[in-house]
């Protein structure tokens, strides 16, 4: 076993990210031309095949997104929304497509408060009112039209076939459906698709057919986004949502707007980090935390040593405190992106961090900044033979969203409205606190933590990554980036290493199994409240060696059924 190289900071992370051959290490998947890393293997294979037949990364990405709506119904979707980063190797530009859900026109600030004045999480998570107007179909259309090369109907065709012919139920799909039985049980249209007529669940090895979804996808393939945002599908969504206390109208569907934004950018030890701007908080806080940590010799302090974890936790707390105050939809509030991602602000953060003591969350407040200017998500990464790349995270929020399928459409609706702050200071489904910046307003996009990210070296894509995990997405992506840049791990090792997370409130340093007891004792001695909890994230990552164009990828081993496939 060649242990020693793992214990020393790599001379050059780029070199380290690409060394495998002579060492016994956890190995990534290798390919020379194109690669897809996704949480479900049938969808990954569809994307790989598209590139092998001449499609680019965006063609493959759009096909994967539609396929996951069939094969990974708990997170893949057309009833939700998300974010896609696209890197164009020819121009060197990276584009950010925001297809996050929008609050319906009838939405209002206190809509989730019960008679007692407290947030009613059943309403924000498991009712018609929990759905925002979905953005996925509009997002995929913009991506394909502007940056793809293939016909719309051709990239949807593989998803239609899977929905029509059915797919084999895996143990993971069977288990996750059983776990969603309660939230689906009040919707007969949902039960009719995801459970058998006698109410029993599908068992591993059986075939799940989604005929209504196939019909809807065919309509979208034939009519374009109008097949979803107008006419009978839009009407069915509005009726189903309204019948369960929701607000989406056919006019809201027709008014959905996808937005192309400037990605948020930063640098970390010579690499360029490009990620999603607001209405995601992901990119801003990823860069903010990296900036703060750049001032410490993290590589020398060691991967998952108590000193490294301590510094990470202290920086994370400050970032999540700022998130609670400043982050929201930039079309509605001024978000101080430039301040939060500046190196000067990182220095001010470091001045508040003690090397020896954990600062209690109660002593931390969001910084005083002036705005500068006015359980389920899934990520996939794609890189093609020309070095174009797609980093896409999309979601219906919790596993199977609200559980509501609009009758006849096969579409599972999101419960993204819970990502708004229903009441200042009261945590949402991920324990996240928010205030005015993320208050509910008609037409507004709820704040997200999704962090589709690319790390560039000399203008070329070096790493494409992202993850589900709610509030933990930002810190999960952070650790993949740090594991590769600071600790010289290859992409598989970086994806596998145990993770930690702190989000300011609750005041706990969450750790995964695998962080040693010796380390947690040292962290406790510094004052951290350690909480050992479930595994965090499901990263799907591709590393590209800029010198050779070789691709190395890894699907997080934390969830089954994922695949990284190349050719
Ligand atoms: O946008 C967000 O931040 C959340 N709706 C993501 C939810 C999520 O990652 C759930 N998956 N584990």
| Count of H-run helices and E-run strands, the chain | 22, 19
For the CA of 468, the nearest atom of ligand 1: 9
CB distance 449 to ligand 1 below 6 Å:
yes
Smallest Cα–Cα separation from 180: which of 202, 211, 204? 202
Provide the mean pLDDT of the chain. 94
556: preceding bond cis by omega (within 30 degrees): no
The verdict on whether residue 395 carries a ligand-binding annotation is yes
Say whether 470 counts as a known binding-site residue. Answer: yes
Question: Does the pLDDT value for residue 530 go beyond 60?
Answer: yes
* 536 touches ligand 1 (CB under 6 Å): no
What tokens were used for 486?
Answer: 């600071």
Measured in Å, how far apart are the chain's first and last C-alpha atoms? 29
Q: What is the CA(419)–ligand 1 centre distance, in A? A: 8
| pLDDT given for residue 10 in this prediction | 42
Residues with Cβ within 8 Å of residue 77, at least 6 apart in sequence: 68, 69, 134, 136, 394, 395, 396, 401, 411, 412, 414
Q: Is 344 annotated as a binding residue?
A: no
Report whether 419 belongs to an annotated binding site. Answer: yes
Helix, strand, or coil here: 553? strand
User: What residue owns the CA closest to ligand 1's atom 10?
Assistant: 376
- Which protein residue's CA is at the shortest distance from atom 2 of ligand 1? 448
Q: Give percent of the chain above pLDDT 70.
A: 95
Question: Residue 375: CB within 6 Å of ligand 1?
Answer: yes
**Whether the predicted pLDDT of 403 surpasses 90:** yes
Please list the residues that pair with 394 across neighbouring strands.
Answer: 82, 378
d(CA 93, CA 87): 6
Establish whether residue 470 lines the binding site of ligand 1, counting it when its CB lies within 6 angstroms of any ligand atom: yes
Residue 63 CA to residue 394 CA, distance in Å, equals: 14
State residue 375's pLDDT score: 63
β pairing state of 530-532 and 509-511: parallel
Calculate how far, in angstroms, residue 401's C-alpha sits from the geometric centre of ligand 1: 10
Neighbours of 343 (CB within 10 A): 12
Distances (CA, A) of 347 to 12, 277, 340, 350: 25, 22, 11, 5
Looking at residue 8, its pLDDT comes to 39
pLDDT over threshold 50, residue 312: yes
Question: SS3 of 147, please?
Answer: helix
Region of 419 (left: φ > 0; alpha: ψ -120 to 50; beta: rest) is alpha
Q: Is the dihedral of CA 472, 261, 64, 231 positive or negative?
A: positive
Q: Return d(Cα 446, Cα 439) in angstroms, integer.
A: 8
CATH architecture of the domain covering 282-326+336-371+500-534: Orthogonal Bundle (1.10)
Helices (H), 394-509: 473-485, 491-496
Q: How confident is the model at residue 2 (pLDDT cuts 50, 70, 90)?
A: very low
pLDDT of residue 333: 96
Statement: residue 15 has pLDDT above 70: no
Q: Catalytic amino acids?
A: 377
Residue 25: predicted pLDDT: 82
Structure confidence at residue 376 (pLDDT): 83
Tokens of 198: 């006698």
- Locate the domains of the chain by residue range: 42-260+392-419, 282-326+336-371+500-534
Ligand 1 atom 1, closest CA: 448
pLDDT above 80 for 23: no
pLDDT value, residue 370? 61
Which residue's alpha carbon is at the smallest distance from atom 11 of ligand 1? 376
Ranking 223-232, 422-431, 511-520 by mean pLDDT, the lowest is: 422-431
- CA 128 from chain centre, in angstroms, equals 23
pLDDT, tens only, 362-395: 999 999 886 543 468 999 999 999 999 999 999 9
Binding site membership of 276 for ligand 1 (Cβ less than 6 Å): no
- Residue 397 in contact with ligand 1 by CB distance below 6 A: yes
Q: How far is the CA of 427 from the centre of ligand 1 (A)?
A: 14
Atom of ligand 1 nearest to the CA of 449: 3
Residue 409 annotated as binding? no
Ligand-binding site membership of 541 (annotated): no
Flag whether pLDDT at 16 surpasses 70. no
Evaluate whether 562 touches 39 at the Cβ level (below 8 Å): yes
Is the pLDDT at 229 greater than 80, yes or no? yes
Rounded CA separation 96/84 (Å): 6
Stretch 514-540: mean pLDDT = 98
Query: Per-residue DSSP letters for 247-292?
Result: ---HHHHHT---EEEPPEEEEETTEEEEE--TTBSHHHHHHHHHHH
The reported pLDDT for the residue numbered 372 is: 41
Distance (Å) from CA 363 to ligand 1 centroid: 28
Distance from C-alpha of 274 to C-alpha of 282, rounded to nearest angstrom: 11
Query: Buried b / exposed e across 26-37, counting CB within 10 Å, b at 16+?
Result: bebbebebbbbb
> In 3-state terms, what secondary structure has residue 395?
strand
Render pLDDT for 426-476 as a digit per residue (tens, 0 to 9).
Answer: 899 999 999 899 999 999 999 999 999 999 999 999 999 999 999 999 999
Instruction: Give 153-189 pLDDT, tens digit per residue.
Output: 999 999 999 999 999 999 999 999 999 999 999 999 9
- CB 468 less than 6 A from any atom of ligand 1: yes
- The angle that helices 41-52 and 152-165 make with each other, rounded to 10 degrees, is 150
Q: Is 84 helix (H, G, I), strand (E, B) or coil?
A: strand
Residue 552, φ and ψ in degrees, nearest 5: -130, 125
């Amino acid at each position: 076993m060649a242990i020693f190289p793992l214990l020393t900071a790599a001379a050059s992370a780029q070199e380290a990210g690409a060394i495998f051959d002579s060492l016994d290490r956890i190995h990534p998947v290798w390919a020379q031309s194109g690669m897809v890393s996704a949480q479900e293997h049938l969808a990954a294979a569809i994307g790989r095949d598209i590139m092998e037949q001449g499609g680019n990364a965006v063609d493959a990405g759009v096909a994967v997104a539609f396929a996951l709506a069939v094969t990974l119904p708990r997170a893949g979707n057309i009833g939700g929304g998300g974010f896609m980063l696209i890197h164009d190797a020819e121009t060197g530009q990276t584009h950010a497509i925001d297809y996050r859900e929008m609050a319906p026109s009838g939405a209002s600030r206190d809509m989730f408060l019960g008679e007692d004045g407290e947030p009613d999480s059943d309403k924000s998570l498991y009712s018609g009112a929990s759905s925002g107007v979905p953005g996925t179909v509009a997002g995929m259309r913009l991506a394909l039209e502007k940056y793809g090369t293939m016909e719309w109907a051709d990239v949807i065709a593989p998803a239609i076939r899977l929905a029509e012919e059915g797919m084999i139920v895996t143990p993971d799909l069977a288990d996750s459906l059983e776990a969603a039985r309660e939230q689906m049980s009040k919707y007969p249209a949902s039960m009719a698709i995801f459970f058998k007529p006698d109410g029993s669940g599908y068992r591993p090895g059986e075939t799940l057919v989604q005929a209504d979804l196939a019909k809807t996808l065919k309509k979208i393939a034939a009519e374009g986004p109008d097949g979803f945002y107008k006419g009978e599908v839009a009407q069915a969504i509005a009726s189903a949502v309204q019948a369960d206390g929701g607000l989406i109208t056919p006019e809201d569907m027709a008014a959905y707007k996808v937005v192309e934004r400037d990605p948020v950018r930063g640098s970390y030890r010579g690499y360029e980090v490009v990620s999603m701007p607001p209405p995601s908080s992901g990119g801003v806080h990823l860069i903010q935390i990296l900036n703060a940590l750049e001032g410490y010799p993290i590589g020398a302090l060691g991967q998952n040593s108590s000193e490294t974890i301590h510094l990470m936790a202290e920086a994370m707390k400050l970032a999540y405190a700022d998130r609670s105050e400043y982050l929201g939809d930039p079309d509605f509030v001024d978000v101080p992106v430039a301040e939060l991602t500046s190196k000067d602000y990182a220095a001010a953060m470091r001045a508040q961090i003690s090397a020896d003591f954990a600062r209690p969350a109660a002593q931390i407040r969001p910084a005083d900044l002036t705005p500068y200017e006015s359980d389920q998500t899934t990520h996939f990464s794609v890189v093609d033979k020309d070095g174009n790349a797609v980093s896409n995270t999309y979601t219906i929020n919790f596993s199977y969203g609200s559980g509501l399928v609009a009758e006849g459409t096969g579409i599972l609706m999101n419960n993204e409205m819970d990502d708004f702050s229903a009441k200042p200071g009261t945590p949402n489904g991920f324990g996240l606190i928010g205030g005015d910046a993320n208050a509910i307003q008609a037409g507004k996009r709820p704040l997200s933590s999704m962090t589709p990210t690319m790390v560039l070296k000399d203008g070329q894509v070096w790493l494409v990554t992202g993850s589900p995990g709610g509030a933990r997405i930002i810190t999960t992506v952070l650790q993949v980036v740090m594991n590769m840049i600071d600790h010289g791990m290859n992409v598989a090792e970086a994806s596998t290493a145990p993770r930690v997370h702190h989000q300011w409130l609750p005041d706990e340093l969450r750790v995964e199994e695998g962080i040693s007891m010796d380390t947690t004792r040292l962290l406790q001695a510094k004052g951290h409240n350690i909480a050992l909890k479930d595994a965090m994230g499901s990263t799907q990552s591709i590393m590209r060696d800029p010198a050779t164009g070789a691709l190395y990828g890894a699907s997080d081993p934390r969830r089954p059924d994922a695949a990284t496939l190349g050719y």
